[in-house]
Amino acid sequence: MTPTRKLAALSAVIGLLCSILGERVALGLPDASLIPGLLDLRHAWNQGVSFSLLWQSDDSGRHALSLVLLVLVVFVGTLAWRSTEKLAASGYGLVTGGAVANLLDRSLYGAVFDYLSLHLGAMPLFVFNAADAMISLGVVLLVAETMLPRPR
C-alpha cells in the first residue's frame, strides 16, 4: 500500500472514530452552552442531510436517501484511494469517514444525531455533529489542495 493510500485510509478511520466518539460523549451530556453566544450543546435528530435538506419522514424515503448516500460514500472513498496527492487523500478520507459515521446513524436510528448548535447571539445558524465537522474539514483540505501551488 502506498503512503498516500495509507494516509487516505487513516484519515477515513480518524474521521469515523472522532464522529462516533463525539456522538457517544454528547449523548451522555445535558444541553448546555459551550461558548456563550456562539456554540451550544443541543441534541437534535436530523432526518435529512446537511441543513436538514431532503427531510425524510418515512422508511422508503430514508432507505432511498441512504442508498444515494452510500453510492456517494463509495465514490468519494474511491477518490481517496486513487488520490496521488497527500492533502487530497486526507481530505477525501475525512469526507468518507464522516459520511460513513452519518450513514451508520441513519441506518441504526433512522436519523443523524446532531448535537452542536452554532449561532450568533440569538440568531441560529445550524446544528451539526463531529461527522459533519470532519466532512467540512475534508472539503477545506480539498479546496486548499487545489489552491496551493504544485512543485515543478
Could you give the residue numbers annotated as active site? Answer: 114, 132
Residue 35 half-sphere exposure toward CB, CA atoms < 13 A: 7
Angle, CA of 137, 30 and 27, to the nearest 5°: 55
For the sheet containing 39-46, what is the strand order? 32-35, 39-46, 112-120, 123-128
DSSP single-letter state for residue 1: -
Q: At 69, list the grid cell.
A: 448516500
